[in-house]
């Protein structure tokens, strides 16, 4: 049996790292595309790295960028992948309001570049393509829960760019008979989630506050509701989507939704700290009402969270809740993690990380001043 080759764009991101690990365990030869950056940006995949001097490697990294067609064509020509997972994107919804043109270039036109590369190279019959679509396409609530037939109403430059990527993927599938699929994935998180997405921002801040490294933190819209799953479950589905007999588009979600405010309460509860929220809108704050863990010395009544309107978005997505019935029935989609498991996993990891920070501080190694 010949080894299957996968090409992953966005290999250094949360999903790219979990997917690489998953495909390597399945026996794939994995090729990942990373961007050149002035600092190392491979933290999430360093455990998979293989020295380029050893023979028979099965994990390869290539420099590239979604905004560079010739680079993408050359890479795909060299690799001749059986499967492409197009995960690279400017993936932060709030930031996309500040960098709308770049977001369109990387997320929308970038997807077109991959599809065109396949056509130019005549790989339509060989290469299957997974496009990282998103629940952000649903945007302004039209229907709940949201399924493959719910109309789209994108609410950010990111979502509009991803909507183009969704439809160009469908169009190339229909026009050129390509095996190209959209996975409409709802929010999925993990201990390696980017630090500025709300779940990781919360689990990091809660860990630091519990350990006395920080007094309080600030969030935006506490009422937003999201259907949060674990990234490990979701990358498995990316692969299953490309193993289906026919190329289709799929909603992947847990079917449950939770408000940002409740995610905060649940994260604090992991450290034995209970909270009460008082006030409304921009005046809402959270205070400690109980501290059941002797390891953490938080005084009752301490204010640990305020709202800062700078985190509000010009147009917000208030409620996401997915209906994964199609994936459950046709692909056998099952979840290994629920929200409690996810928060436990993230809190355990961030507490460990912050304890390391605490030890470094105590030892006097917090900041290395290169300019002294
Ligand atoms: P991350 O932000 O963690 O990772 C994004 C990846 O894309 C990183 O490897 C990043 O590189 C890379 N990248 C960004 N811009 C470019 C570019 N111009 N050229 C090449 N690479 C680039 O995202 P996730 O792993 O969370 O998400 C993966 C994909 O799934 C994204 O497309 C996202 O929009 C989509 N998605 C994510 C969901 C989620 O809840 N996580 C839900 C639905 C869809 P670098 O490390 O150098 O920044
Ligand atoms: P989202 O994720 O926009 O859903 O996009 P994010 O975690 O950024 O926001 C979720 C909700 O929390 C609210 N919120 C805050 N968000 C951030 N980042 N920071 C805050 O301080 C804060 N306070 C409240 C937001 O307003 C929002 O309602 C993610 C990304 O991974 C996308 O790439 C992906 O397509 C979608 O999930 C599905």
Q: Which two tokens stand for residue 17?
A: 């790292």
- The mean of the pLDDT values for the chain is 96
Q: What does 339-361 look like in DSSP terms, one character per residue? A: HHHHHHHHHHHHHHHHHHHHHHH
Cα 353 to Cα 205: distance, rounded to the nearest angstrom: 12
Q: Could you tell me the residue range of the domain that residue 157 belongs to?
A: 5-185
Instruction: Find out whether the peptide bond into 263 is cis, omega within 30 degrees of 0.
Output: no
Choice from 198, 267, 305, 343 to test ligand 2 binding pocket (greatest atom count within 8 A of CB)? 198
Q: Write down the pLDDT at residue 56.
A: 87
Shared-domain flag, residues 211 and 280: yes
The 10s digit of each residue's pLDDT in 217-261 is 999 999 999 999 999 999 999 999 999 999 999 999 999 999 999
Q: Is 137 in the pocket of ligand 1 (CB under 6 A)?
A: no
Confidence label for 365 from pLDDT (cuts 50, 70 and 90)? confident
CA distances from 349 to 83, 237, 352 (A): 32, 24, 5
Q: Are residues 62 and 177 in the same domain?
A: yes
Q: For residue 241, is it within any domain?
A: no
Residue 297's pLDDT band (boundaries 50, 70, 90)? confident
- The answer to whether residues 146 and 225 touch, using CB atoms and an 8 Å cutoff, is no
Measured CA distances, 174 to 124, 213, 307 (Å): 12, 55, 47
0.90 surpassed by pTM: yes
Percentage of residues of the chain with pLDDT beyond 90: 94
Helix (H) or strand (E) holding 268: helix 260-269
CATH number at residue 142: 3.40.50.720
Residue nearest atom 3 in ligand 1 by C-alpha distance: 13
196 C-alpha vs ligand 2 centroid, how far in Å?
9
Domain count, the chain: 2
Report how many helices (DSSP H) and strands (DSSP E) the chain contains, helices first. Answer: 11, 15
Q: Quick check: 185 and 252 in contact, CB under 8 A? A: yes
Beta strands in the chain (DSSP E): 5-9, 29-34, 59-63, 83-86, 128-134, 180-185, 188-189, 217-219, 225-226, 229-230, 250-252, 258-259, 273-278, 285-291, 303-307
Give me the CATH number covering residue 308.
Answer: 3.90.25.10
Ligand 1 and 83: CB distance under 6 A = no
User: Among 16, 20, 40, 36, which residue's Cα sits nearest to residue 28?
Assistant: 20
Looking at the structure, do residues 96 and 220 belong to the same domain, yes or no? no
pLDDT category of residue 362 using cuts at 50, 70 and 90: confident
Mark which of 130, 154, 185 sits at the end of a domain: 185
pLDDT (mean) for 79-87: 99
| pLDDT, position 367 | 66
Residues 167 and 48 in one domain: yes
Mean pLDDT of the region 329-353: 97
pLDDT confidence band for 52 (50 / 70 / 90): confident
pLDDT at 163: 98
pLDDT of 92 reads 98
- The span from the CA of 126 to the CA of 138, in Å, is 32
Tell me if 219 CB under 6 Å of ligand 2: yes
Residues 206 and 157 in one domain: no
Rg of the chain taking only CA atoms, in angstroms: 22
Contacts of 304 (CB under 8 A, 6+ apart): 209, 215, 216, 217, 268, 275, 286, 287, 288, 298
Q: Does any ligand 2 atom lie closer than 6 A to the CB of residue 90?
A: no
């Amino acid at each position: 049996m010949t080894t299957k080759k996968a090409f992953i764009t966005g290999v250094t991101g949360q999903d790219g790292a979990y997917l690489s690990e998953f495909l390597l365990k399945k026996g794939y030869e994995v090729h990942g595309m990373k961007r050149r950056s002035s600092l190392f940006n491979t933290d999430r995949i360093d455990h998979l790295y293989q020295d380029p001097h050893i023979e028979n490697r099965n994990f390869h990294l290539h420099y590239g960028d979604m905004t560079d067609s010739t680079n993408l064509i050359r890479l795909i020509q060299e690799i001749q992948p059986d499967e492409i997972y197009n995960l690279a994107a400017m993936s932060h919804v709030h930031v996309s309001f500040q960098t709308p043109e770049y977001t369109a270039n990387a997320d929308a036109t970038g997807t077109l570049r991959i599809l065109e590369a396949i056509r130019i190279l005549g790989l339509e019959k060989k290469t299957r393509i997974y496009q990282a679509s998103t629940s952000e396409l649903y945007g302004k609530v039209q229907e709940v829960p949201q399924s493959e037939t719910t109309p789209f109403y994108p609410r950010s430059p990111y979502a509009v760019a991803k909507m183009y990527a969704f439809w160009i993927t469908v169009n190339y599938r229909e026009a050129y008979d390509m095996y190209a699929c959209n996975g409409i994935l709802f929010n999925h998180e993990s201990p390696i989630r980017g630090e500025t997405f709300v779940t990781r921002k919360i689990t990091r801040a809660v860990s630091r506050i519990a350990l006395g490294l920080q007094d309080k933190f600030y969030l935006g819209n506490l009422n937003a509701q999201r259907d949060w799953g674990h990234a490990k479950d979701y990358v498995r589905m990316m692969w299953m989507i490309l193993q289906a007999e026919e190329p289709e588009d799929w909603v992947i979600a847990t079917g449950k939704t939770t408000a940002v405010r409740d995610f905060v309460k649940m994260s604090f509860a992991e450290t034995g700290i209970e909270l009460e929220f008082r006030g409304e809108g921009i005046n809402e704050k959270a205070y400690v009402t109980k501290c059941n863990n002797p390891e953490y010395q938080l005084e009752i009544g301490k204010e640990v969270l305020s709202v800062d309107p700078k985190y509000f978005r010009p147009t917000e997505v208030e409620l996401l809740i997915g209906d994964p019935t199609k994936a459950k029935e046709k692909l056998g989609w099952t979840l290994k993690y629920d929200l409690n498991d996810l928060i436990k996993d993230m809190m355990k990891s961030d507490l460990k990380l912050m304890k390391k920070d605490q030890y470094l501080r105590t030892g006097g190694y917090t900041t290395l001043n290169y300019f002294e």
